Amino acid sequence: MKSYEQSLLFHFKHAWFNIKEQFSDIPTSLAANALVPFFVWVLSRVWERFNSHLGHYQLHEIVVYIGITELLFMTFVRLPSLNRASSDFSISLVRPRSWLAMSFSGLVGRSTGSRLFMFIILIFTLPLLGAKPELVISALLRLIILLPWLGLIQGMFSLLFANSQVLWHQTNYFILPFGKIFLVMGGVWGPVSDFSEPWKSIILKMPPSDIFFQPAYFCIKGKFYQMSFNEWWIRTSILIVVLFLINQIFFFYAKKNHQSFGG
Amino acid sequence: MNSMKLLFLSLRYHFDSQKSNPMNLIAGTLGMIINNLIVLWGLWAMLFNNKPNGESLTVYFLALNAMITIAWGSLLFFLGGFRSLGEYIEEGSLEPMLSTPRHPLLLVGISQSSTPALGDIIQGFLNIAVLCFMRQWEIASKTLIFSFFSAMGFLSLFILAGSFAFFLKRGNALSQLFIECNLSLSFYPTGKIFTDFGKFLIMLTPAAFTGLLPITAIEYASLENVLNASIGSILFFSLACLIFNLGVKKFQSSQSLALRN
């Protein structure tokens, strides 16, 4: 029992180190995130031109919505984090700690650190882009509530890719289209509720909508779109369990078939 | 003539190296085509399908997407090194290129070829095929012609943005941001989003030469629009080369910097 607690404490510390690491070189982190306000501006203008007539939202709400979806998406499945997670696979096989748990805590930590950094940028930039300060504050406070849970989902997806990279070696080219599926179906460019039928109904049933559109909608409206909090929580819990199981299976085969360089 | 020979040799070399790993070539190309198709479908479902404000713009958007993907993809596939100019300057890889009798920009361009860019080119031609299927022959043929102007715009953008590294600390990171910003402004139908003042602001960015001016020429094809696109791309290319040459005069080799430190 004691070793279980120690292990848990170790992984929390590992995640905390990765969170702090994102703040260790502020100019580089600023440069990496400098495009976020620009994308918020462009995408909110695209929405205004093509979808504002639908009347579901107002421009100042969309600015906050896109800010939040960009925050969640830009820190979702990132290649440098995956490479780092899968790079020490060989050596981890002879270490006492689980590679899965170690990679997971690292991935969640890095993503949470980036999200907090971007969060601070958005506090200052969203009002300049036309969002009402009171909406920015209430929406970002709601986001804080959801971030730990969303971090778990993000960590599971990233771990799946890190596992795949060890199992099949050449998976980099598929990260881009995978990201695009989540970009489009998650409603990162604009709310899924503004999509035309039948796509709207189909996309709302998919996991990307649960992890990007629904949280962002919750942040600006205070409720989920056409579902209760419990329903959203159950859907995302099932997603986490499924990803956990797939990760276990992938890890089993990655370990079984692994050949280090020179093997 | 020798430069052309070198260009063909480098293309053959890059193609041979990509052919030697067919799985990599197929994965990269397919990955990019799937990526582009998802983006195209997503924007169509969100902005154009059953939308009174957008439905009439489907042809415009298909042509814009075809032009950008062909221009961007061709440049990265055939002369992909230009995208890394800033990195070459910062890391010192430009030095040996400056000491040969050939023009350094030619050597920069032929130094790399991006495999996934082939997917962009194929995607662009798929769009052209769809335009032909929709009987938009004139738009399809004009898109092919003006892709060249857009490619000239991207080439100038890469040279201009890469040259930032001559003058600025973290110039390469800034150049990549600058390129991404302009790619987004070119990719979204900014000509239909912004009105007079917004369009004026776009005209002050490189996205005018990579996207707005060529797509306006495709849409209207008046002599004025064609002249704007062609003269604009020549002027922008001249400006980018001027900035690069100024940077080369200012450039200090990494060895002399190390000695000074």
ipTM of the complex: 0.77
For chain B, the domain total comes to 1
DSSP state for residue B47 in the 8-state scheme:
I
Answer whether B46 sits within 8 Å of A195, measured CB to CB. Answer: yes
A-chain CB neighbours of B45 within 8 Å are 184, 195-196, 199
Please report which residue ranges of A129-197 form alpha helices under DSSP H.
133-168, 172-185
What's the confidence (pLDDT) of residue A263?
43
Share of chain B above pLDDT 70, in %: 95
What's the confidence (pLDDT) of residue A217?
94
Give the residue carrying structure tokens 């070189």.
A25
Q: Does A195 contact B at CB distance below 8 Å?
A: yes
The model carries a pTM of: 0.81
Q: Could you state, in order of their start, the residue ranges of all structural domains in chain A?
A: 2-257
Query: How big is the A-B interface in CB pairs under 8 Å?
Result: 90
Cis upstream peptide for B101 (omega within 30°): no
DSSP state for residue A196 in the 8-state scheme:
P
- What is d(CA B243, CA B162) in angstroms, rounded to the nearest whole number? 10
Considering only the beta carbons, identify the residue of B28, B38, B45 that sits closest to A181: B38
Q: What tokens were used for A83? A: 């490479």
- Residue-wise pLDDT for A110-144, tens only, equals 889 989 998 999 899 999 988 889 999 999 999 99
pLDDT of B68 strictly over 70: yes
Q: What tokens were used for B184? A: 């987004």
**Residue B23 domain flag:** no
Where in the sequence is the domain holding B217, given as residue range(s)?
29-251
**Residue B17 domain flag:** no
**Residue B16 domain flag:** no
